[in-house]
Amino acid sequence: MTDAPGAIPPSDPAPSELRAKSLGKNTAIMASGTLVSRVLGLVRNAMLVAAIGVNVGVADAYDIANKLPNTLYAVVAAGVINAALVPQILKAFGRRDGKRTVDRILTVGTVISLGVTVVLTIAAPLLVMAYAPSNWSPELMALAVAFALWCIPQLLFYAIYTLFGQVLNAKEQFGPYMWAPVVNNIIGIVGLAAYLVVFGPQIKGVPALTGDALTIAWTPFRIALIAGVATLGIAAQALILIWPMVRGGYRFAWVWRGPKGELSGVRTVISWALGAVLIEQLGVLWATRVAAAAPAAALAADPSTPAGSIAGNAAYFQGLLIYLVPHSLITVSIVTALTTSMSRLWVAHDITGLRAEISRGLRTIGIFTIFATVVTIAIAPSITRLMNPSASPAEVTSVSQVLIALALGLAALGAMVLIKRVYFILEDAKAIFMIHIPMTVVLIGVSLAVRQYMDPKWWVVGVALGLSLSNVMGVLLRTWGLRNRLGGLDGRNIMRTHAKALAGAVPAGLAGWALTLVLPDPVNNTGVVGFAAAVTNIAASGLLMLVIYALILRMLRTPELGEVMSPVTRRISRRVR
């Protein structure tokens, strides 16, 4: 007996199973690279905190300088290249002459990024003035400018890294893009180790350097060892992608001209995407100014305020760094893998398949982000101490409070990022621009209210809450718009999965938090003792929460977690056999 034409042999997996395995495999590859990179990045950050502290002026000055290339990158590169160009590159590779189009995109992108980098490096003093508050001293402003002159050139290499990475992603070579930051972090760790050997760690309890003493202490060599090595790491992260591109069969060539109208679709998408990111960065700019002004405002209101007890923009950065770990490990990996498949479905006019991929992505991301939210809130002090073993108790407390406020928007951030990618696939960047307006209004409005009505010690926490509310606003508007555009989004299944995740995460989080009450205190112990207490809390409470969460999800018959974990479970089963 023969199978009917087009039938799938019983021994072969169904297409949905193949997609699940592919998603799981690609997510595992990317998540493994991101995990290694994040672990090294957290080691690097702990060394940075040991070198320059958290709630001190030098840390705030470096945070402003280091924020500039990341912010500028978001304006001129990430919002445009990372999301907007993947569908364009994928369509180009599908044509016989598509390589020329890809070469031209990379040529234009690189040259524009180089020109913008040069101009913005020259404008470093003006950029620092825009982000730094008016209550900073001239010496602290000068130090921030010196850091910025070293940091802003990172913009060029961030752009190159993203351009090359999207070529690799379009060819489904996901691994190198996620593993390249490992090189960056290794270089950063080596540089900070050299700094700590030459200059030593920041001494806790010693009054922060101010005035001329700050200028004398921070020599050009000292500044270069902190900020220059950071830029060297980003350059290595970008250029190392040349090798996997060549091995994968793509050799970049400079292409300056092409058929008329070849990049017209790209220009339209980029124009709206750039506008959306500019709107978004207005909110970031204002939030940064409010956070940076908090320590000086607290001291002015109460001169007896202990030094280092009030969170500033560096504490906000530390909270963001931790908050983005689960997002980058799982959400970004899933979204990156799904972007290619969703682009293909859209090009093939398979709307039903596209809706199914979006639903699968939102359900899978929700399973992780809801659990990550509850875990982060339950053990925030332990996580903060683990990441910053040399921080003072006041610094750990302030960063933990910021982290909890940010974690409230983690699930919304994950869903929002996926839906934003879908809009770019649909080449509807105008909708993204329009949605960013109310999101930015929320962030700026909350920041204004916080500065006007709250004690300065709570300004940074208030800004973090504003970001979470902005994320919630964004996901609601984007989901509503996409639902109308595609004629539905399988909302019932998505909400059911999220409800199950919440039902499992809340009791798990309460149990984990209760356990921390009887475990060693990670906040008021520094160094090795505090680090050991943090490890104990995270290991014991984390394992308890994971077991409870997994058991409840299994009782509720929730398959999404197993879909992404399938590569791990298959390896374990093979070893057992």
Q: How confident is the model at residue 575 (pLDDT cuts 50, 70, 90)?
A: very low
Residue range 448-480, pLDDT digits in tens: 898 888 888 889 999 999 999 998 998 888 888
Percent of the chain with pLDDT strictly greater than 90: 25
Residue range 337-394, pLDDT digits in tens: 787 788 888 878 888 888 888 888 899 889 989 999 999 999 999 999 988 887 888 8
pLDDT exceeds cutoff 90 at 408: yes
* CA pair distance 74, 224, nearest whole angstrom: 24
Total residues found in the chain within this entry: 577
Listed range (113-122, 160-169, 270-279) with the worst mean pLDDT: 270-279
DSSP label at residue 458: G
311 or 241, which is more confident? 241
* CA pair distance 529, 543, nearest whole angstrom: 21
HEC secondary structure over 543-563: HHHHHHHHHHHHHCCCCHHHH
pLDDT exceeds cutoff 60 at 485: yes
Q: If you average pLDDT over residues 159-179, what whole number do you get? A: 79
Nearest 5°: the CA angle 183, 411, 447 is 90
3-state secondary structure of 115: helix
* CA pair distance 73, 89, nearest whole angstrom: 20
Q: If you average pLDDT over residues 213-232, what whole number do you get? A: 87
Q: How confident is the model at residue 24 (pLDDT cuts 50, 70, 90)?
A: low
Q: How confident is the model at residue 238 (pLDDT cuts 50, 70, 90)?
A: very high
Residue range 99-114, pLDDT digits in tens: 777 888 788 778 888 8
3-state secondary structure of 204: coil
Task: Report whether 106 contacts 188 (CB < 8 A).
Answer: no
Task: Report whether 33 contacts 178 (CB < 8 A).
Answer: yes
pLDDT exceeds cutoff 90 at 149: yes
* CA pair distance 122, 473, nearest whole angstrom: 37
Residue range 529-564, pLDDT digits in tens: 888 999 999 999 999 999 999 999 989 888 776 665
Highest mean pLDDT among 85-94, 409-418, 429-438: 409-418
- Between the alpha carbon of residue 332 and those of residues 31, 187, 278, 365, 479, the distances in Å are 9, 24, 22, 9, 18
Listed range (169-178, 180-189, 417-426, 465-474) with the worst mean pLDDT: 169-178
Task: Report whether 307 contacts 208 (CB < 8 A).
Answer: yes
Find the helix packing angle between 393-407 and 459-486, rounded to 10°.
Answer: 20
What pTM does this model have? 0.71
Task: Report whether 494 contacts 363 (CB < 8 A).
Answer: yes
pLDDT exceeds cutoff 50 at 10: no
11 or 166, which is more confident? 166
pLDDT exceeds cutoff 70 at 270: no
pLDDT exceeds cutoff 60 at 3: no
Percent of the chain with pLDDT strictly greater than 70: 82
| Ramachandran area for residue 454 (φ above 0: left; ψ -120 to 50: alpha; else beta) | beta
Q: Which residue has the tokens 């008016």?
A: 134
* CA pair distance 309, 396, nearest whole angstrom: 10
Give the pLDDT score at 27: 59
